[in-house]
Amino acid sequence: MTVAVVPGSFDPPTLGHVDVISRAVEVFDRVLIAVVANPSKSPLFTADERTAMLEEICTGWENTEVDSFDGLLVDFARDKGAGVIVKGLRAVSDFEYELQMAQMNHHLSGVQTVFLPTSPDHAYLSSSLVKEVGRFGGSLDGLVSPVVAAALKERFE
């Protein structure tokens, strides 16, 4: 059984993240969504809030689990028995940094990274842009799940 870990800050999860998770669910037996508790930029939502949003988003997929972690992703993956890291690629510009991280993670633990392309419909989405749209009261339709739209609305009210 192949367990894949889909890591990220998910601050907040966007429909781009959901797209990557949905593709990982098709390919791997189990998908563990790994929320970085303390990302480098101070997050808008706590780790518990981001985890709860992802749990609600993933309720329809039985082979998913959501957890949060601190420290190195490769240590978390090893502790959870995940043999593969999955990353979504929106555009060629994502590739350079993602390749660097994949090579570092392989150097650290031998873990393989699999890249999945996102739908072009979501190529322009990022958590930062979604937060900016939410902060200034723009429409979040087509950008995030309803649970995330409600949380952003509440946070910026």
**Which residues sit at the interface with ligand PNS, rule CB under 6 A?**
7-9, 36, 39, 72-73, 101, 104-105
Contacts of 81 (CB under 8 A, 6+ apart): 3
Is 153 designated active site? Answer: no
CA–CA distance, 9 with 42 (Å, rounded to integer): 10
CA distance 145 to 131: 13
**Which is nearer to ligand PNS, 52 or 104 (by Cβ)?**
104
Measured from the CB atom, the residue of 9 and 145 that comes closer to ligand PNS is 9
Catalytic status, residue 90? yes
Tell me if residue 122 is catalytic: no
Question: Cβ closer to ligand PNS: 2 or 103?
Answer: 103
* Distance in Å, CB of 157 to ligand PNS, minimum: 25
Spatial distance between the Cα atoms of 141 and 34, rounded to a whole number of angstroms: 25
Structure tokens that stand for 29 in this block: 């037996």
Q: Which residues are catalytic?
A: 17, 41, 90, 127
